[in-house]
Amino acid sequence: MAFEFTDDNFKTTTESGIHVVDFWAEWCGPCRMVSPIVEELATEYQGKATVGKVNVDHHPKVSTEFGIRSIPTILIIKDGQVVEKHVGMITKQKLAEKIDAQL
């Protein structure tokens, strides 16, 4: 199951290690298409990377901090720094390749 990033836990959670963060909203059609991919990768990368989601409607602080203007937006954060950003739809294979490049 994907980790739930929030305004409160985001900074401390992403300080070290690799984190894949899907910024999404319930009303967003493309977000609903990416969601199963994020869930599958959360299971597959368990113990290697934290894969999770931020609901932009519920957690606007972190969304604003990272300048999220379009969703879905996926950030890969390594040791507190954004190392990869993807806006829009992405295949499971492409996202896995981006994660693997950071491991």
pLDDT digits (tens, 9 = 90+) for 58-93: 999 999 999 999 999 999 999 999 999 999 999 999
Q: What is the pLDDT of residue 80?
A: 96
Q: What is the pLDDT of residue 65?
A: 95
Q: Which of 25, 28, 87, 96 is catalytic?
A: 28
Query: Residue 20: which pLDDT band, with cuts at 50, 70 and 90?
Result: very high
28 tagged catalytic: yes
Write out the CATH class of domain 3-93.
alpha beta
**pTM of the predicted protein model:** 0.95
Region of 74 (left: φ > 0; alpha: ψ -120 to 50; beta: rest) is beta
38 tagged catalytic: no
Question: Is residue 13 classed exposed, middle or buried when 0-12, 13-18 and 19+ CB atoms within 10 A define those classes?
Answer: middle
Contact, 25 vs 57, CB < 8 A? yes
Give the DSSP per-residue string, 7-58. Answer: TTTHHHHTSSSEEEEEEE-TT-HHHHHHHHHHHHHHHHTTTT-EEEEEETTT
Counting residues of the chain whose pLDDT is more than 70, the rounded percentage is 100
In the chain, what is the straight-line distance between the N-terminal and C-terminal CA atoms, in Å? 20
Q: What is the DSSP letter of 76?
A: E
Query: Residue 42: which pLDDT band, with cuts at 50, 70 and 90?
Result: very high
Q: Which of 31, 37, 42, 62 is catalytic?
A: 31
